[in-house]
Amino acid sequence: MAHFATDPTGTPEQRLEEFQTAASTAFAPLAITANDPGRMWAGIRAEQVGGLLVSDLRTSACTVRRDRRQISSTDNDVYKVALQVSGRMVVAQDGRRNVMLPGDMAIYDTTRPYTLVHHDPALRPQDDFRTIVVTCPRSYFASDADVLRQVVATPKATGRGVRRLVAGFFTGLADELDGVATAGSGQGGLRLADSLVDMIALVFAGREVPVAGRAPLLDRMLAYCEANLSDPDLSPRTVARAHRVSVRYVHRLFSGQDQPLSSWIRARRLDRIRQDLENPQLASRTVAAVAARWGLLDAPHVSRAFRAAYGISPAEYRRHALRTRAAFGTEARAAGIRAPETRAPETRAPGTRAPGTRAPGTRAPEVRTTEVRSGVSGSS
């Protein structure tokens, strides 16, 4: 377990620098100022639980900022979920600014600027502010991104109902971090992480994460893959590493599905390539460039795989698709007919397909260019 405390013998400036370095290392680069520099102090206890980081912070009053200067493309993309245990804290992000009372929970996104300000006139100077923070990869909540964007920096009271149970779970977990350390990286840690993710989704997205008949970890792996299709290194091995499990465990988890994870990744990439080939705005890009956009760098292999999946080469598919769109664009407008729209793909479990998509190994229907007449008198 990671443990940090400011050195009581250091100067106020040294203690503040120590805290800022420790917090920036544990979470993400931050700028911290002390409300009362003379009595600045802080302590952090943190432990990895599955793929999550659970932290128990106790500090004197301070202000934490993460602005665009601290945000980098190399930072981990994470949500932070905070339970305020003692003292009041103002949380601000995306134009929202709200006060968190003891017992409130709030979520904020480290990929965008935010501010946290401790402020509680009722708290005695010698009292501390305590916050329990769970840090979660954003990919765990890929399907809830739009919902979560609407509720960042919006405290949720936990005084009653299910939220009270969630807050109790957070507090109990923080109090027992020493014991959690022994199970944090094993199957026990994965189960705890699954429970935390489910609870966070229930509080902030209004739904439970698990899908009937599927393990929540499998859902998180699929969301991770969907968010990383453009990475050429995406594979069962990298998925296992990202979720702190063995490759064997990944294969076992997907053994009950209709296709292995590697086949699902390949099918999703081919479907994304197919959609890009239909897009007139990408017509200037080569097939190889389109394929590389989705993590496939071997152009001859892509051509063979595309033909095996859809019964037509990528170049031929693009030519026919764009010709059809052009026909609609030049003639159908006069008749009030709209060109077919390409729907965004859904993240689905192996063995299930979105409406209108084809299973690998089945031939694509022949694309024909149909003459469209406007119905204007005198046309031949």
**pLDDT for residue 223:** 84
Q: What global pTM score does this model have?
A: 0.58
Using the Cα atoms of residue 160, residue 161, residue 163 and residue 165 in order, give the sign of their dihedral. Answer: positive
Tokens of 13: 């400036």
**pLDDT for residue 2:** 78
**pLDDT for residue 72:** 83
Helix (H, G, I), strand (E, B) or coil at 308: helix
Q: Which residues of 10-19 are buried (b: 16+ CB within 10 A; e: fewer)?
A: eeeeebbebb
**pLDDT for residue 336:** 44
Residues of the chain with pLDDT under 70: 1, 73, 122-126, 181-188, 207-215, 327-380
Q: Are 42 and 58 in contact (CB under 8 A)?
A: yes
**pLDDT for residue 158:** 93
**pLDDT for residue 178:** 77
Q: Are 6 and 19 in contact (CB under 8 A)?
A: yes
- Report in angstroms the alpha-carbon separations of 115 from 31, 127, 350: 10, 22, 40
For the chain, where are the alpha helices, taking DSSP H only? 12-26, 145-149, 161-175, 177-180, 187-204, 216-227, 236-242, 247-254, 261-277, 287-293, 299-310, 314-327, 333-335
Structural domains of the chain sorted by starting position, each given as residue range(s) with its CATH number in brackets:
2-209 (2.60.120.10), 212-373 (1.10.10.60)
Sheet architecture: strand order including 52-59? 2-5, 42-49, 52-59, 129-137, 78-86, 104-109, 156-157
Element (H, E) at 259: none
**pLDDT for residue 183:** 55
Q: Using CA atoms, how far apart are residues 101 and 115, in angstroms rounded to an integer?
A: 16
Rg (CA), the chain: 26
Helix (H, G, I), strand (E, B) or coil at 56: strand
Give 55: exposed, middle or buried? Use CB within 10 Å, 0-12, 13-18, 19+: buried
What is the β-pairing status of strands 62-66 and 31-34? antiparallel
Q: Are 201 and 141 in contact (CB under 8 A)?
A: yes
Strand partners, 100: 89
**pLDDT for residue 120:** 73
Q: Residues 313-342: pLDDT tens digits?
A: 999 999 988 887 776 554 444 444 444 443
Taking each helix axis from N to C terminus, what angle separates 261-277 and 247-254, rounded to the nearest 10 degrees? 80
